[in-house]
Amino acid sequence: MFAASLQPEQASLAQETHLIDDVDGKLTSDALLNLHRKLVEIESITGNEKNVEKWLVSYLEKQNLTVELQEVGVDRFNVFAYPGKERKTDILVTSHIDTVISII
């Protein structure tokens, strides 16, 4: 959906990151750490989340998840992802996709 509009470095990140282990199909801690690492590599200071949003949507779609966007402000969206075509799930994982920089 958004892969064509990603910056070149983000498109390559989307291609190389996999959440599910290809060998046995199980979720691995290495895969989760890799996902986290890729997300924080994309600048996403509050109000400037568009690039990380595009990358995350592309990534989730590559995991064969249905992805929905919910607009919450000008050019700002919540990202919903779930297996199958119906939004019917027993688990909700929630987080911010922006990063916050504090100067001490």
Residue 69 is inside which H or E element, if any? strand 66-73
- The confidence score (pLDDT) of residue 26 equals 61
Is the pLDDT score of 91 beyond 70?
Answer: yes
% of the chain surpassing 90 pLDDT: 22
Is the pLDDT score of 68 beyond 90?
Answer: yes
Is the pLDDT score of 102 beyond 70?
Answer: no
Per-residue pLDDT of 6-47, as tens digits, reads 444 444 444 444 445 555 556 678 888 888 888 888 888 888
